[in-house]
Amino acid sequence: MEFEPNKTPYAYCSAANNPFTQESLEVRVPQIMDEIVNTVKRELIQDQELGNAARVEEGNKIVQELMELREEMKRNEVLKPLAKDSIGDVEEYNQYGENYFKGERWFETPFIWWEPYLYRRIAGIFNRAVTYKDFDYFEHQKKKTFVASAQAVITLGGRAYDCVEECKVENIGEQQVQGLALQDEMAKRRLVGFLEVLQTSLWGNQTDLSMFPDLKSGDLEKLQAKLLASGNNGGGAAKDDDNINKNLISNDSLKIHQIFERINSRNEANGTNGGVKRIDIVLDNSGFELFNDLIFANWAVELGYATEVVFHGKRIPWYVSDVTRADFEWTLECCSNADFFSGNSQDILKLIKMGQRWRDQYYKTGVWRFEDDLFWTGPYPTKYITKYAPELWKKISAASDMLLFKGDLNYRKLVSDLKWPEDTPFETAIGKSISTAPGVPAIVALRTLKADTIVGLSSGLSARLDSEDPGWKHKGKYGVIQLGAGKFRD
């Protein structure tokens, strides 16, 4: 379905029509801004002790501007144009706001417009300060969260290593299956392994610091323990009420697996394993979720389903925990460094071996690449990539077989954050320009729900969950794996 940003078929979610968005505007986001202010104040204490007068002056100015922005939100003022900075997209942001949301106030304007605008405006405040130009005001939180996840990373890393090895034909063991029996056995193993790594990547999205800014380490460990329990079930159906896979409420996993097999068989039919098979992943959170995404990419490359993986991250600090290039490279270094982890268990040894492969054989050689186009920190629904980032889309659609979108914001952008009827087909909501145009890659969304917008549900499911589990859309408890088949449409 095609439409202009100010002429939508259904209403946007906003603070005026949605209690969760209102809470975000009045409680959650101000809390995040307070933490940014506190981060700068800690820097100020250090700079004062060191006698760094220039940085103290700029730090005080940043605090003042952040507090003024917070008050603008509180007073429900008209959103102002972005001030000039060197990030590179001020004109595009301001033109978009002028064209479609001119004169609108925080409370009434769409969530999908004011929230990216807010984080982009914060980035500009820091960018204009010479001594804070490259300062990541979320870095401490991101690293702290990953460190707190160390035990889960070790356990999952060991399991991920084994998962890949179990899917290799040379590791069948004593069964001595041959011919068609061997093919059947490997097909089963690869399907189970695929379901495991795909759902691990999905549920890793539960720990989102922008949606749960007060997430404690104990809560984090409980979420990760549940994830590990479900992963050890091999991606299968839930065995008990504690298994989080029962909360996967829209699941195209098998269809996605079939596309992976088609990608693989395409080269086999040509009599070569040398063809390019590319997967693109639009990342969400750093830390434990990024680690899960690396596991998925590792599985795809090691088993020959991909020869290239392109990770799309953020060029500026974004939504507290989103992945920047520095976050990506730091995570690779952590996973390849035995000194980061305590002990020398078999799981740690497997993790380090895998991490060194990621860093040295994949990332340094270009098998894995990290890109950070400014489109991903723009205010646009994804369907407008053909208009606002045509060169980016041209490169992706020409080279990629599959484009995976991780997380809540990426999902909301995919479906324009509208109040769609919840049984609307996923492909309808994301738009023809990126779902059914000739030659476009398959579009996959992996999302745990933390906001209201949702499509692709079976009729009546939403009403039942409203009755059984009030507030179910905001807890990160339920997940979807949805597919737009693109060029693989039959």
In a domain, 46, yes or no: yes
**Per-residue DSSP letters for 364-397?**
TTTSEEEE--GGGGSS--GGGHHHHSHHHHHHHH
Least confident of 39-53, 89-103, 260-274, 408-422: 260-274
Q: Rounded to an integer, what distance in angstroms lies between the CA atom of residue 407 and that of residue 402? A: 16
> What's the pLDDT tens digit per position in 73-101?
999 999 999 999 999 999 999 999 999 99
Q: What pLDDT band is residue 222 in, cutting at 50, 70 and 90?
A: low
Domain match, 393 and 431 both: yes
Domain match, 366 and 217 both: yes
Least confident of 156-165, 219-228, 336-345: 219-228
Helix/strand/coil for 433: helix
* Length reported for the chain: 490
Q: What are the percentages of helix, strand and coil residues in the chain, rounded to 5?
A: 55, 10, 35
Domain match, 302 and 161 both: yes
Which residue among 137, 167, 202 closes a domain? 137
Q: Which domain covers residue 331, as residue numbers?
A: 142-488
Domain match, 261 and 116 both: no
Domain match, 121 and 163 both: no
Identify the sign of the CA torsion 194, 196, 199, 205: negative
Least confident of 118-127, 222-231, 314-323, 359-368: 222-231
Residue 185 is predicted with a pLDDT of 83
> What's the pLDDT tens digit per position in 409-434?
999 999 999 999 999 999 999 999 99
In a domain, 430, yes or no: yes
Least confident of 40-49, 209-218, 255-264: 209-218
Domain match, 101 and 47 both: yes
Q: What pLDDT band is residue 242 in, cutting at 50, 70 and 90?
A: very low
Task: Check residue 401 and give left, alpha or beta (phi > 0: left; psi -120 to 50: alpha).
Answer: alpha
Q: Rounded to an integer, what distance in angstroms lies between the CA atom of residue 159 and that of residue 153? A: 10
In a domain, 94, yes or no: yes
**Per-residue DSSP letters for 295-353?**
HHHHHHHHTTS-SEEEEE-BSS--TTTBPBHHHHHHHHHHHT-GGGSSS--HHHHHHHH
Residue 321 is predicted with a pLDDT of 94
In a domain, 202, yes or no: yes
User: What mean pLDDT comes out for the span 252-280?
Assistant: 79
Which residue among 137, 165, 197 closes a domain? 137
Q: What pLDDT band is residue 224 in, cutting at 50, 70 and 90?
A: very low
Name the average pLDDT for the chain: 90
User: What mean pLDDT comes out for the span 353-361?
Assistant: 98
Domain match, 37 and 167 both: no
Which residue among 118, 137, 156 closes a domain? 137
CATH number at residue 344: 3.40.50.10880
Q: What pLDDT band is residue 184 in, cutting at 50, 70 and 90?
A: confident
CATH number at residue 81: 1.20.930.60
Domain match, 82 and 187 both: no
Domain match, 196 and 153 both: yes
Q: What pLDDT band is residue 481 in, cutting at 50, 70 and 90?
A: very high
Domain match, 120 and 153 both: no
Domains in the chain, number = 2
